[in-house]
Amino acid sequence: METRFLQTLLTVIETGSAAETARRMNITASAVNQRIKALEAEIGQQLLRRVGQRMQPTAPAHALVASARQMLALEEDMKAVASADTGTGRLRIGVIQTVLTGLMPDILLKLRRNQPGIDLYLVPGTSGDLYTRLTQGELDLAILVKPHFLLPKSLNWTTLRREQHLFISPPGLGEVDATVMLRKEPFIRYDRNHWGGRIVDQYLHAQRIRPCEQHELDSLEAIVIMVSRGLGVSIIPNWPAPWPQGARINQMELTDAPLREVGVIWSRSAIRLPLIRNFIREAKS
């Protein structure tokens, strides 16, 4: 059974579209359809059906998903073992949003120049979600906020960046006392379901500040825009540029707030360990 055909099926199931699958896999839409028909002929079951504008998996297709993913993962592992000493292969990397826009472009440029044999598959997500996917073997490494709990001995961590926290307010407020404003002005909170949001929450508790909560958002960019429009104040990490274009805010460093550490986490026993080490070396440089 062709693993390329299985990957095509999984991508159609994920996207619900033969056209989008063709774009992602860099093949034609007719090639997508031919691969699906070949799988159906080999298995003897219809795997997809059209419902409105989307392609939906049939019951037999649903039953195949877990086994197909295992086969594809095994194929990737076999390739990784065979090419372990050559510096070539694919890395599945989980990345939080601020790293995806702030750090990854420079890292990708360095890898293209110094490690052209490493092929990256980027998976965006929150720190908690990416950590879970890493421990389940779905990722080779992840770049995320340092966990607030003790890491198991099976995992390694290295810090890439330490970020100061900022009190931000609308530009019209001028000189302000952050402590006073946090108690007085509407507060736009960084979502406590995010590990970075928990750091902010811990700081507020330590300072015994009970803000006038207005909104709780999981997007730092959205928080900056809302503050710039005069909808409230907030505390955010000083993540690397770019920030939302045109957003004007006052910024004040909170020197008594804990730093947000962003770094790489990976398994000590990872099959792709040589590639992971090469990636980390370039990322830290």
Mean pLDDT (10-residue bins), the chain, 285 residues: 87 92 90 92 92 90 87 72 66 95 95 91 94 93 96 96 96 80 94 95 95 94 96 96 92 94 96 91 92
Together in a domain, 118 and 191: no
Together in a domain, 66 and 130: no
- Angle at 122 (CA atoms; ends 117, 124), nearest 5 degrees: 165
Together in a domain, 178 and 253: yes
Which of 82, 109, 137 marks a domain boundary?
Answer: 82
Query: Given this model, what pLDDT does residue 190 score?
Result: 97
Together in a domain, 143 and 270: yes
Query: Given this model, what pLDDT does residue 52 score?
Result: 87
Together in a domain, 156 and 267: yes
- From start to end of the chain, where are the E strands? 48-51, 54-57, 89-95, 118-124, 141-145, 155-163, 165-169, 186-190, 212-217, 234-237, 250-253, 260-267
Together in a domain, 203 and 216: yes
Q: Which CATH number do you get for residue 179?
A: 3.40.190.10
Q: Which CATH number do you get for residue 46?
A: 1.10.10.10
Together in a domain, 116 and 41: no
Query: Given this model, what pLDDT does residue 147 score?
Result: 95
Together in a domain, 135 and 269: yes
Query: Given this model, what pLDDT does residue 83 score?
Result: 57
Together in a domain, 135 and 189: no
Query: Cα separation of 58 and 66, whole Å?
Result: 14
Query: Cα separation of 135 and 43, whole Å?
Result: 32
pTM confidence score: 0.75
Together in a domain, 96 and 158: yes
Number of domains the chain contains: 3
> Which residues face 118 on adjacent strands?
89
Q: Tell me which residue range forms the domain holding 156.
A: 86-162+261-285
Together in a domain, 154 and 204: no
- Strand (E) or helix (H) holding 203: helix 195-206
Query: Given this model, what pLDDT does residue 236 score?
Result: 97
Together in a domain, 216 and 241: yes
Longest dimension (CA), the chain: 72
